[in-house]
Amino acid sequence: MTIVPPPAKVLVTGANGYIAIWVVRLLLEQGYSVRGTVRSAGKGEYLTEYFGKLGFGDKLEIVVVEDITKEGAFDQAVQGVDAIEHTASPFITSLVNLSDFVDPAVRGTVGVLQSAIKHAPNVKRIVITSSCGAVMAPPPQPTIFSETDWNTSSQMDIDKNGVNADPLSKYRVSKTLAEKAAWEFYEKHKGSIGWELVVINPPFVFGPPIQEITGGPESLNTSLKPFYDILVGDGPKTEKLLSTSNSWVDVRDTALSHILAIQKEAAAGERIIVCGGAYLWQEWFDAANTIQPYPLPNHPPAKGMPGITAPYVIQYNTAKADKLLGIRYKTKAETIRDTLEIFAAKGW
Ligand code: NDP
């Protein structure tokens, strides 16, 4: 049984974001109607135009929610929807204060849940985009994390270094607190509500950007910018960098997990890590060198140091996502090819 089948109406918050626009696209392609929130009317224009060209003009509605930290911010946006995909949250490493991350992350998350309780009686599923940043902080030795893990060490960085802590620690704390707040809210209310919570935890998300990009590569979203800098731009290609590892997932697989989360009965009440695998940066260079023809003739791929090995330090057990969602994850070769093709289309 599909819990929220098309042509249901789905609210997507932060619809103009890198991940969210793919969520909107997959929803529309599967026959859903979408209401997308953005922070200003201008940010909605690109979405209207982009999806209008794809033939979905009458299936997409854009609403402005200027400040997601305000009480009742989503009260109108949730009305009449059958499911909610809450993605809006700052992933901007130039923010300085912890509160710049935490307030929108936590208040936005709790706010959308509160609004759903008050004003969206038809809602059956609410999906929150959390992060593997709520699962782990980079460990000193190779570790395989799972849904039972929670990031506790980023808070230690804040406690020790205050405003000078690593911006990624501030971001990870915001995601941890927001996710915990969502689960707490759900546990408190689940006996009296008609919807189930699903939380999706992706690691670094790479893959083709279809969102509005107002400038050059420097204006890419936070996870894709280093991907461009290292693989195409002047970023470092030292042995240290090439042997640095993390885990990743394609943006389209991330978006698909959000759609499956409103469809699959068994996803109800689950925290789910969606991860395409671990990587060394060298492996992205290896993958780039297999693409024929190479999409960026002016930036032929560096070779790096083929054959270099290093342990994968951050890995995830994806058994739960495999069982509940069953995604066939994109390979590095697919992801890098499709991403570089978008860079090429922009003339970068
Ligand atoms: P983007 O920066 O592309 O999108 C973020 C979205 O959130 C935008 O719509 C943005 O609006 C909105 N937003 C940011 N700050 C605020 C704020 N203070 N108040 C209201 N809205 C805000 O990032 P991603 O698409 O990468 O991230 C989307 C979600 O996925 C986030 O929750 C992020 O934590 C999570 N995530 C991302 C990963 C990644 O590697 N990309 C990995 C794991 C999780 P505006 O454009 O107006 O700023």
Q: Which residues are catalytic?
A: 175
pLDDT digits (tens, 9 = 90+) for 137-186: 899 999 999 999 999 999 999 999 999 999 999 999 999 999 999 999 99
CATH of 9-345, one of 3.20.20.70, 3.40.50.720, 3.40.1280.10, 3.30.70.1560: 3.40.50.720
pLDDT digits (tens, 9 = 90+) for 5-57: 999 999 999 999 999 999 999 999 999 999 999 999 999 999 999 999 999 99
Work out which ligand 1 atom sits closest to the CA atom of 130: 44
Tokens standing for 248? 């990743």
First CA to last CA across the chain, in angstroms?
Answer: 45
Cα–Cα distance, 146 to 276 (Å, whole number)? 14
For residue 7, whether the previous peptide bond is cis, meaning omega lies within 30 degrees of 0, is yes
pLDDT at 268: 98
Tokens standing for 243? 């042997």
From the CB of 245, is ligand 1 less than 6 Å away?
no
Q: Atom 39, ligand 1: which residue's CA is nearest?
A: 205
Closest CA to 327 of 285, 267, 247: 267
Work out which ligand 1 atom sits closest to the CA atom of 175: 34
- Map residue 346 onto helix, strand or coil: coil
Beta-carbon contacts of residue 288 (< 8 Å; ≥ 6 apart): 231, 294, 301, 336, 340
> Mutate which of 16, 25, 89, 258 to test ligand 1's pocket (most atoms within 8 Å of Cβ)?
89
Angle at 251 between CA 174 and CA 147, to 5 degrees: 50
The strand ranges marked E within 21-101 are 33-38, 60-64, 83-86
Q: Atom 7, ligand 1: which residue's CA is nearest?
A: 88
From the CB of 16, is ligand 1 less than 6 Å away?
yes
Closest CA to 2 of 240, 264, 312, 295: 264
pLDDT digits (tens, 9 = 90+) for 60-114: 999 999 999 999 999 999 999 999 999 999 999 999 999 999 999 999 999 999 9
Q: Are 35 and 77 a contacting pair, CB within 8 Å?
A: yes
